[in-house]
Amino acid sequence: MKNISKLYIMLVSLFVGLAACTQDFEEINTDPNNPTEVPASTLLTQAQFNLANRVWSRAMNFEFGMLMVQHFSQGEYAEDSRYNQNVSTFNTSWNSFYANSLYDLVAAREIVQANEGLNDAIKGNQTAVLDILKVWAMQIVTDTWVNVPYSEAFNPDEFANPAYDSQQDVYNGLIDELNAAISSITASEPGFTSGDIFYGGDMAAWARFANSLKLKIGMRIADVDAGTASTLVSQALNAGVFTANDEGFIFNFASDQRIANPFFVDNSINNRDDFAVSDVLVEKLEELNDPRLMAFADTSITGDYTGLPYGLPDGESFNLFATASRPNPAIREATAPAYLLTYAEVKFFEAEAIERDFGGSGTAEEAYNEAVTASMNQWGFDDSEGAISDYLAANPYDAANWEESIGVQKWLALYTNGLEAWAEWRRLDYPQLEVPAAGVRSYIPVRALYTSDELGNNGNSVSNAGINNEMNVAPYWDVN
């Protein structure tokens, strides 16, 4: 898998190198801080870090996604947990996706396609890596904002004000892009021999990730288009998805604060301490006698695990904050990884696929048990003393209520990946979360707001986006 020293060298070299790569040019019109040519591998590295950093960021993850699914509660400043977001809340995140990461991937693809020094197999592999990453990122974008720029989004010379596509059209396009990327992979040949800080150019690993992503996309649309979902899911499972925790799509941050885990940067570098584990999460873990409680949370000043009541007004939340449990310190370590798509999640998808008769091997219960086991292993627990088998015996899979069984356990397994937990909660509707009494909105948001920047710069397209800019407009796949 990825290694931290390699990440450190690549990213620090990237940040230093971009500023200095023209330093030997003597022409007086050359700007040393704005190179005109950047290798595709450099753009890949930059996009990979920026995407992982954004999905794991304060703004998108623990100040939004993790609050929407009530994993975290806020302390002194509790407006986000009361759904008091506005059109300025998401400016940085929207711009980070579109103007930085996604644009870097598209630019890198153009460089690869124009490189006559690459043979067809390597060119196909490098293109596949870039396209797979784009599909993964664009699914997050459309699942967050619903209708978004897609078909016109990455050609600014022709479309300075890109139109918004319906989410269904975006999904159809992503499916086509992903299928094309998978078909262009030659697993026996390398991809990017440098710059790939996820899988180091291993195309067999990229193929497993692409199939696992295809499985996720298929299951996401299962309620709205069962026929397409069944095809995608069966194809993905037959082609080969993750089979172990260390095969997952995982980003390892580094100890250098410039490329460290955002939880660490927020807490240790920026000296912020705004989040505690919620009472909703703690009570569910205690109800299930779940050992992951000690991995998810730190003990409070009383020596117990104390969840902070979710969605309180600022004053009440602040008064209780000192006695509440913070996240486990391990989550806030500089090198703690971002678990972006895991083996556990893949096994939960397979359990659901079996229930829906979409494919998979064995029984849904077996896949569910493997999913819970994979999550326990991911969080540092094994079954050497029967901890996992005892837990499964006490909390068995319920085929008659499989949405609840899978939904609750997936909600737990996705702790720290707020956006994905939010997506799966919207789709499966479990656990059944409640709107806090002090909520500014009368519902739990199911989308983010279009941004003030976009309203100002591309207002006509926003007006024709096909949906109201409010947080109760459900994704097209959320039909329950």
Question: In this structure, are residues 261 and 250 in contact, taking their beta carbons and an 8 Å threshold?
Answer: no
Alpha-carbon gap, residue 401 to 397, rounded angstroms: 9
Alpha-carbon gap, residue 447 to 469, rounded angstroms: 9
Q: Is 223 helix (H, G, I), strand (E, B) or coil?
A: coil
Q: What is the pLDDT of residue 2?
A: 40
DSSP category for residue 448: P
Q: What is the pLDDT of residue 480?
A: 80
pLDDT tens digits, residue range 262-310?
A: 999 999 999 999 999 999 999 999 999 999 999 999 999 999 999 999 9
Confidence of residue 3 (pLDDT cuts 50, 70, 90): very low
pLDDT tens digits, residue range 135-157?
A: 999 999 999 999 999 999 999 99
Of 165, 79, 248, 113, nearest in space to 464 by CA: 165
Question: In this structure, are residues 132 and 197 in contact, taking their beta carbons and an 8 Å threshold?
Answer: no
The predicted model gives 221-235 an average pLDDT of: 98
Rg (CA), the chain: 22
Task: Give the other-Cβ count within 10 Å of 239's Cβ.
Answer: 15
pLDDT value at 422 more than 50:
yes
Q: What is the pLDDT of residue 470?
A: 98
**What's the gap between Cα 174 and its chain centre?**
16
pLDDT tens digits, residue range 172-190?
A: 999 999 999 999 999 999 9
Phi-psi region of 299 (alpha: psi -120 to 50; beta: other; left: phi over 0): beta
Residue with tokens 């400016």: 91
The predicted model gives 370-393 an average pLDDT of: 96
Query: Which of the following CATH numbers is that of domain 4-260+334-463: 3.40.50.1000, 1.25.40.390, 1.10.3720.10, 1.20.1270.360?
Result: 1.25.40.390
Q: What is the pLDDT of residue 6?
A: 47
Question: In this structure, are residues 124 and 422 in contact, taking their beta carbons and an 8 Å threshold?
Answer: no
The predicted model gives 1-5 an average pLDDT of: 40
Q: For the full predicted model, state whether its pTM sits above 0.85.
A: yes
pLDDT value at 128 more than 60:
yes
**Mean pLDDT of all residues in the chain?**
93
Q: Which residue has the higher pLDDT, 11 or 88?
A: 88
pLDDT tens digits, residue range 94-114?
A: 999 999 999 999 999 999 999
The predicted model gives 433-459 an average pLDDT of: 97
pLDDT tens digits, residue range 195-218?
A: 999 999 999 999 999 999 999 999
Would you state the structure tokens that stand for residue 228, as one six-digit string?
Answer: 């397409």
Query: Counting Cβ atoms within 10 Å, is residue 46 exposed (0-12), middle (13-18) or buried (19+)?
Result: buried
Confidence of residue 13 (pLDDT cuts 50, 70, 90): very low
Confidence of residue 466 (pLDDT cuts 50, 70, 90): very high
| Phi, psi for 4 (deg, rounded to 5) | -65, -40
DSSP category for residue 395: S
Alpha-carbon gap, residue 359 to 284, rounded angstroms: 31
pLDDT tens digits, residue range 297-324?
A: 999 999 999 999 999 999 999 999 999 9
Would you state the structure tokens that stand for residue 7, as one six-digit string?
Answer: 């990440």
The predicted model gives 21-29 an average pLDDT of: 40
Residue with tokens 């100890």: 255
pLDDT value at 243 more than 50:
yes
Q: What is the pLDDT of residue 36?
A: 53
Q: What is the pLDDT of residue 37?
A: 73
Q: 241 CB contacts (<8 Å, ≥6 apart)? A: 208, 211, 212, 215, 346, 350
Alpha-carbon gap, residue 137 to 358, rounded angstroms: 25
The predicted model gives 35-43 an average pLDDT of: 83
pLDDT tens digits, residue range 354-373?
A: 999 999 999 999 999 999 99
Alpha-carbon gap, residue 139 to 54, rounded angstroms: 14
